[in-house]
Structure 1
Amino acid sequence: MADTHHADKLMESDDMFGFIVMDGEGTLFGTLSGNTRQVLYMYRLFPPKKHGRGGEPALRFSRAHFLKHINHGRKTDELASMLYIDPNTRQPNVCGLILAGSVEYKTRQLVDIIDPLLKEKIVNVVDVSYGEENGLNQAIELSSGILSKPKFAKE
């Protein structure tokens, strides 16, 4: 049985944390406040399939695949700004942001282009084995120690 002491302390907090779980298949945006976990938005990415044929089309397919992933990072940044920044006050509506995913996607595509207001709110960057809701659950578990610290600082 896993030690759930940190997770139990996390559930007592009322602070809202944002999660971005990004992998090669898509991105999930979620929040955690106390014991309430919510998926705000999720989208799937359908990159062009790799073709085993060489020659002239290989370069075209490679370029299309690369552009699809660049657009994935841009779309993720735009959605993060829409979901985690209040449009009226232009301030983040979460007290912290956790980026989760495979090393390649969360670092290369998101950390470099994320809105500066949200970049200041990043409290943890974790490697997860899964995407979507399983990745969100894993990110919450891996971040439970960090997420409980603001509560202790207030006390």
Structure 2
Amino acid sequence: MHPTIICATPENARDIAVMTGELLHEIMERINVKAFRFHQDETETRAAELLSRGVYYVFLAKDPATGEAIGFISLYESYALYAEGAYGTIPELYVRPPYRSMGVGVALLKRAKDFAASRGWKRLEVTTPPLPEFDRTLNFYERHTFEISGGRKLKSDIDLS
């Protein structure tokens, strides 16, 4: 399949939010841990706001026959001395199950790499969901020039109250 890849705008926030929910629920179901708080309306609002501010970039894959959103990849600019300045981080890459292994993820990743090059980023970084449940995801990235560069991703929630 050759999906149509578009640069998302705030008007695409609903599709992005719906697929983000699908992604997060798939991860939580497979690892049997409620690792994320997901609220559809809040995520949609947040996606629209981040896209409109130009700090969050999303490429949306659409089925060329139906126009249905079938996947997306998101990126943001990060900075680190070890990365020689600015680089890109991929926080989400999702392809709906019926469209997996059809080249949609590869097309999204290629578009993200082209975008990274246009921004002058020397690297892209991504964290996979937990292993071994997502070994297939790790293998996908490794087949497409990513290599393991560190340990595990950790987080610390900040209490804003």
TM-score, with length taken from structure 1: 0.29
Which structure has the greater CA radius of gyration? 1
TM-score, with length taken from structure 2: 0.28
Larger relative contact order, structure 1 or 2 (CA cutoff 8 Å, min sep 6): 1
Query: Higher strand proportion, which one?
Result: 1
Query: Higher helix proportion, which one?
Result: 1
